[in-house]
Structure 1
Amino acid sequence: MKSLLSIFICLTCLGSFAQTRLSDSLQSVIDHPQISGQEKAVLLNRLAEFYRVNKEYAKAINTARKSISLSSGIKNYTEATKAYLVLLNSRISAQELSNIKPLSDTLVLTANKANAPVALAYAYYGQALLFKVLEHPETVLKYCQMALTSLEKQHDPYIAAKVYYQLYAVNSNWNNGDQAYHYASLATENALNTTDYTLLSNCYNAMSTAYEYKYEAHHQQEALDSILYFLNKSEQLYTRYPGQLNNYAYAITCINIASYYQRFASPTDSKAQGIYYANTARAVLRDAPNSQEVIASSLGILSEYARRDGKDREVEHYLLEAYEVMLTQQSPYYYTMINVTKGLAAFYEGQRDYKNALKFQQLVNEYSSKNFDQQKALKAQKLEIEYQTEKANNELRFLKEREKSQQQKNFLYTCIAIASSLLLFFLFRSYHFRLRYSLQREKQLELEKQDSELQLKLEKEEQARLKAEQQLLEVQQQQLKKEVMANALQLEHKNQMLYNLKDKLAGGDEVNIKKILKEEMILDNDFEQAKLQIQQVHVDFFQLLNERAQRKLTLLDLKLCAYVYLQMDTRQIAQLMHVEAKSVRMSRYRIKQKLGLDKDEDLNAFLQSLNENIRGNRTTES
């Protein structure tokens, strides 16, 4: 047994060294000059939590305060929220309950500053811890559900595992096995996604407890095997991740395994394993602060095995050692102390050592009284916290009611202001309407006057138009007269040509009748043929000419333009039109003026370009 114990002590020293090395390594990284403020805040929170789970509450509180100061200075309110949560949890674990209510309020305010769902989840978890202390499980459930709702927007497996663990704890206290198993499973699932192996160890222990509920309900071997399976998984974390699992958590696992073998395994199979794990728990926590309860529990398990074997001296030794261990605790946990002294009183009574039995029974009474006083003091602190909470809630309710009343007053004042504004607006609109009606009436009269003047003007314009049409008819009549005269002259020319031809024939002159007739026929048909040819090739030619000249071109002008377009020279045109070349040149000049051409512009080039434009437009359309 001594050799086994020495091995356990060596293992414990190695474990303690690893734990110390982890805290020292974290501190060395924190003290590095090149580390950023953001990284330092994260590491300080991790170190503070490490101290808390190791029950080094003073160090945990001091480190958390450093993180709060640093995080607030760099406005990283999410890390500040996490630091406030570690500080709150450390105060609760150390049973320093006097200031936890203001601390929880500050935690919520800091989370609201962070304006991040994960920060709110940490704050709601802190509120759940507060009401767990106040023994209000329904409120604990409410805040846990609020935390989970926030985590739906921004997931964090670490805080999710802690929230689910609290839900497991509440349902476990209610002996609700199914719900305890459900939340323990969710806590384990989230803890597996973190690197906090102490948290994962706690979740494995929760799973073993959940299967214990199943076993008690149905007494199935599968559930019993699952209890040991999860306890073994929790134990394996200590060797798989050396230095990363808290010694205290490992010792709790060892106690639970020893208790399992003591309660459920057969005596022959359970004794060696039970003793091994009870001694391991003692060895791991040797010289560890605030570990007296776990060590006393391990000694209690050892005393029970000794009692079963009838080894009274070992029973006495283990119980007295447990009592001595509990006496070293600065603030004794009286519940454990009562159990130890009861065990000693019962042992000595069984040994008929009534003196010692009386002594320890008196200690039982003394510790019971002290436990009652302690619980009364804690109850008073809880009542004070509840009073502060209720007072804060009443103040908040009063502020809300006052705000609501002020809102109602503001609403009433707003309604009065709106009604006054509407009345003023109505009066203004009424005045404005009457003014506008007067202006519109005046404007309407002005418009009627203008309509009368316009009607009079239109009548005058109509008379002028009729007069212009009459003048146009007169001009057209004069033009017709001119055309009749021109046709008469052309006919006289024909007659004169015939008389000349007759005289030549009568005088016996040689006459080429065919040539004369041919020339006359060409003269008669030339224009019509040329015009027909141009219209067949370019239908819009004469129309464009008239539009350019604004309908100022005469029939003779169009005829001359046709000859020019056919690229005839002045002599040819003069012969065809039976006029002198000078007349042709004068006519070309007048046509250029009508077409708006400069005196230097060539009429032939203009007509050819007009032809090209016609072709270009047709090509574009096609």
Structure 2
Amino acid sequence: MKSLLLILFMFMPLGSFSQVMLADSLKSVVDNPALGEKEKPVLLRQLAEIYRINKNYTQAEVRAREAINISLRNKNYTDAVKAYTLITNVKANTRELVALKSISDSTLALAEKANDPLAMAYAYYGIVWLYKTLDDADAVVKYCNLALKQLEKVKDPYVAAKMYYQLYTVYSKWNDDSLVNIYARKATENALLIKDYNLLSNCYTALSIAHEYNYNASKSKPELDSVLFYLHQSEMLYDKYPGQVAHYTEGIACINIADYYLKYFPATDKEAKEQAVQYANTARMIMNNVDGSREVQASSLGILSEYARREGHDGLAENYLLEAYALMKAEELPYYHTMINVVQALSDFYGEKGLYKKALDFQKEVTLYSNKNFNEQQALNAQKLQIQYETERKNEEMRALKEREHNRRLQNYLYGCIALASLFALLFVFKSYHFKLRYSQQREKRLEFEKLDSELQIKLEKEEQARLKVEQQLLETQQQQLKTEAMANVLQLEHKNQMLLQIKDQLTTGDPVNIQKILREEMSLDSDFEQAKLQIQQVHPDFFNLINEKAEKKLSLLDLKLCAYLYLKMDTVQISQLMNIEAKSVRMAKYRVKQKLGLDKGEDLNGFLQGIWG
């Protein structure tokens, strides 16, 4: 048993053995109970990707769904989106369009729930696979750019490399040399930052094709050398990193190198032929017993057949083509494009040899497989149309929902604006009414105040006129009284002067002084004072009462006389003559009156008496 295993390993390509070992190693790690649940999704996705690139799609989906379930349990929606994206890749490879559409929609919804730009980038990558399968190149470009826009917020070279690679494939179909070069190089630059060597191998192949575009445009030999250089870079990764580059990727790289020598070197170049045959056989060996790889083996046999035909080995050329035909016939669902190429090559071969019946038989098979291919494409196109219809319908529904939501928001905004405007209008009306009411009230009050002020002004004017009239009348009366008093004073002084002259004359002549007469004259003076008192009372009736109250009724008749004379503004000499006393006595009398009135030494009695009425 051990010797049998050893023999199998001797004939099994090293890469195949390494990939089995790598997958088993990852599986044992994932299934280890000691591994924490949160660490499993990353390893499960790696294991699923190994299964996918080796076309074991069933196991790839199983492992991806395990990663999804664990991620959702831990509410790690971004990891779940990454695993869902891997399943969209699987469904695109198996061309299960209905499932692909459903899963890509679910992935996008989950990414929106994750609210993470990285999750959105992966979700857009899943949608890219949908539109790539539907051959909608414009949509592929759109969603690639949307994904790259999300990656401006968070760096992820892995998904960036895949986005640029998808853009490269679109622009290579559109024969846009410039963008093919740009995106192939960007895809390679990002792939170099990660350890996905299968992706890097594909990116090197993309660069080789970009340089082939350049060579076809310029016919520059350095460009042709670059084609071979990057093909070798792609092919060498298989041996450099065992188990990390898929057999299919390596097989395609070898076929591309063999085809390079076949296409660009003449039939006489033996070294080129040896290289082409070597790489064609390497592709056959690598793809031997690998599921879903017979079209690669058939391609390698086609290259070998062409070299045999060039050298005139028709039998060998026929055997290679028949072997390729048998390989394709063994496929349950052969890749019709490769099958058509094989049977067309056999038909042409037999036609050249004059074996027309065989040529016709194989030409019939060309027609048969062309029809099958057409029917398959029609069926696929029907699915595409259905998916496109559903996608468009859903997009239309989404647009309608967004438009309704937009209209609803706009309507709410307008309602809000109307409500706000109405509120402002009500406030304005209220304020306006309140202002008008307050203005009206203020105006009424102002008019009332103006009316009262006018009435008061009129009243004051009348009172002022009356007061002025009374004051004028009083002033006239006082003036008249003063005139009267002045006249009385003059008469009194004249009387005194006459009396003194009489006494002087009597004394001069020696006549005796008549005392009785003097007494009569004094009585006359008293009568004059009484007359003056009467005058004062006529002008100021309360004069004597006021000064008496001020002096607490301590004033004598003589004091009252003195006050009356002082009020009449008589000086000390006049008062002394009138009262027939010395001036000194008058001053003493004034001093006593000040004391009785309670006046300070500094206060003037005359001023007090003059201002007694204020």
- TM-score (normalised: structure 1): 0.67
Deviation at 1:434, TM superposition (A): 7.4
Per the TM alignment, residue 364 of structure 1 is displaced from its structure 2 partner at its CA by 0.8
Partner in structure 1 of residue 285 of structure 2: 283
Superposition map of 1:433-472 within 5 A:
none
Aligned partner letter, 1:202: N
What secondary structure does 2:98 align onto? coil
Question: Aligned residue for 2:224?
Answer: 224
> 1:117 aligns to what?
117
Aligned twin of 2:212: 212
**Aligned counterparts, 1:152-301, within 5 A:** 152-266=152-266, 267-301=269-303
Q: Quick one: distance in 1 between partners of 2:74 and 2:428?
A: 57
Q: Is the 8 A contact 2:14 2:242 kept in 1?
A: no
Count of paired positions: 442
> In the TM superposition, what are the counterparts of 1:6-155 in structure 2 within 5 Å?
10=10, 12-155=12-155
SS in 1 for 2:26: helix
8 Å contact kept, 1:9–1:283 = no
Shift of 1:438: 10
Shift of residue 424, structure 1, vs aligned partner: 3.8
CA apart distance, 1:400: 2.2
Gap change, CA 1:385 and 1:422, over 3 Å in 2: same
- Partners of 1:383 and 1:162 lie apart in 2 by 26
8 Å CA contact 1:8, 1:279 repeated in 2: no
1:437 deviates by 7.7
Contact 1:9 1:284 in 2 (8 A): no
Q: 2:95 touches 2:133 (CA, 8 Å); kept in 1? A: no
Q: Quick one: which amino acid aligns to residue 60 of structure 2?
A: A
Q: In the aligned structure 2, how far is the partner of 1:407 from the partner of 1:434?
A: 39
Residues in 2 aligned to 1:349 and 1:286: alpha-carbon distance in whole angstroms: 31
Indicate the structure (1 or 2) with the bigger Cα radius of gyration.
2
* Contact 1:335-1:371 within 8 A present in 2 as well: yes
For residue 347 of structure 1, report the CA deviation from its aligned partner: 1.4
Partner of 2:262, secondary structure, is helix
DSSP 3-state at the match of 2:232: helix
Cα distance, 1:7 vs structure 2: 12
How has the CA–CA distance of structure 1 residues 9 and 371 changed in structure 2, closer, same or farther, with 3 Å as cutoff? farther
Q: Is the 8 A contact 1:8 1:280 kept in 2?
A: no
1:369 matched to 2:368? The reply is no
State the distance in 2 between where 1:81 and 1:374 align.
Answer: 32
Aligned equivalents of 1:79 and 1:247: distance in 2? 28
Q: 1:35 to 1:438 in 2, by over 3 A?
A: farther
- Structure 2 contact 15–239 (Cα < 8 Å) conserved: no
Question: 2 CA distance for matches of 1:442 and 1:10?
Answer: 119
Q: Which amino acid aligns with 1:402?
A: R
Deviations 1:497-539 (A, max 9, x none): xxxxxxxxxxxxxxxxxxxxxxxxxxxxxxxxxxxxxxxxxxx
* Maintained 8 Å contact 2:301/2:321: yes
TM-fit CA distance, 1:367: 0.4
User: CA–CA distance in 1 between the matches of 2:442 and 2:195?
Assistant: 84
- Deviations 1:436-487, CA, capped at 9 Å, x for gaps: 7899999999xxxxxxxxxxxxxxxxxxxxxxxxxxxxxxxxxxxxxxxxxx
Report if aligned partners of 1:326, 1:337 keep a CA contact under 8 Å in 2. Answer: yes
Q: Distance in 2 between matches of 1:432 and 1:314?
A: 110
Judged with a 3 Å threshold, the aligned counterparts in structure 2 of structure 1 residues 8 and 204 are, in CA distance, closer, same or farther, namely farther
CA contact (8 A) 1:121 1:148 kept: yes
Q: How far did residue 294 of structure 1 move? A: 0.7
Cα distance in 2 for partners of 1:407, 1:203 equals: 47
Partner Cα distance (2:105, 2:200) in 1: 29
Let me know the Cα RMSD of the aligned residues. 2.6
**Percent identity over paired residues:** 52
> In structure 2, what residue type is equivalent to 1:350?
E
State the AA in 2 paired with 1:135: D
**In 2, distance between residues paired with 1:420 and 1:97?**
55
AA at the equivalent of 1:22: L
Residue aligning to 2:548: none
State the distance in 1 between where 2:425 and 2:212 align. 77
Moved more, 349-358 or 381-390: 349-358
Q: CA deviation at 1:257?
A: 0.9
The Cα shift of 1:408 comes to 3.8
Deviations 1:112-142 (A, max 9, x none): 2222222222122222222222222222222
Tell me, in whole angstroms, the C-alpha distance in 1 between the residues paired with 2:416 and 2:178.
Answer: 56
User: What secondary structure is seen at the aligned counterpart in 2 of 1:331?
Assistant: coil
Q: Which runs of 5+ in 1 are unaligned?
A: 1-5, 446-622
Q: In the aligned structure 1, how far is the partner of 2:40 from the partner of 2:145?
A: 31
1:256 Cα deviation after fit: 0.7
Structure 2 gaps, min length 5: 1-5, 449-614
Deviation larger for 43-52 or 428-437: 428-437
Cα distance in 1 between the residues matched to 2:372 and 2:136: 25
Supply the AA of the counterpart residue of 1:401.
E
Residue 14 of structure 1 deviates from its aligned partner by 2.6
Alignment of 1:400-439 (within 5 A): 400-429=402-431
Task: Give the whole-Å Cα distance in 1 for the aligned partners of 2:261 and 2:418.
Answer: 80
Q: Which residue is 2:569 aligned to?
A: none
Deviates more, 1:191-200 or 1:95-104: 95-104
- Contact 1:8–1:284 under 8 Å retained in 2: no
Comparing both chains, which one has the higher relative contact order based on Cα–Cα distances under 8 Å and sequence gaps of 6 or more?
1
1:384 pairs, out of 383, 386, 391, with 386
- Per-residue CA deviation, residues 179-213 of structure 1 (Å, 9 max, x unaligned), is 21111111111111110000000011111111111
Other-structure match for 1:352: 354
Cα distance in 2 between the residues matched to 1:416 and 1:214: 64
TM-score using structure 2 length: 0.68
